Amino acid sequence: MFWAAGCVSTPKDDLVFGLPGKDKIVSRYELPYDKVKAAAITVLKRNGTLVGDDLVRKVLEARIDTAKVYVALDDSEPKITKVTVQVRRGAVADIDLSSEVDKQIYGQLLVNH
């Protein structure tokens, strides 16, 4: 079997070494940016350690076990906040954890709303 390694972009516009693969889940919520960001921070802190909050690019970064988790928030559409969850475990995509974090953010929004 042949594996093609290369670089993968993160929501922070960084390039990291990694195997290409599906590692992002995108959701849209009809809620204000601040509420969605607060829910995402709560979920990331509950599951791991929040290690970054890029206010310019609107990207949260966390560590959950050995995985790097990025949550990008986009409020460029009126009344809609887009959330992109990307998880990389070493050089490998972790779509299962991306999906789990995305579901937990949705659940937290239901609790906070």
> In the CATH hierarchy, which fold is given to the domain comprising 6-112?
Alpha-D-Glucose-1,6-Bisphosphate; Chain A, domain 4 (3.30.530)
- φ/ψ bin of 107: left (φ > 0), alpha (ψ from -120 to 50), beta (otherwise): alpha
pLDDT at 56 over 70: yes
Look at residue 15 in the predicted model and tell me its pLDDT: 58
User: Is residue 89 a contact partner of residue 66, using CB atoms and an 8 Å limit?
Assistant: yes
Q: Domain map of the chain by residue range? A: 6-112
| Whether the predicted pLDDT of 32 surpasses 90 | yes
In this prediction the pTM is: 0.87
User: 3-state class of 65 per DSSP?
Assistant: coil
Provide the percentage of residues in the chain whose pLDDT is more than 70: 81
The pLDDT of residue 23: 84
Work out the average pLDDT over 61-83.
96
Contact 49, 39 (CB under 8 A): no
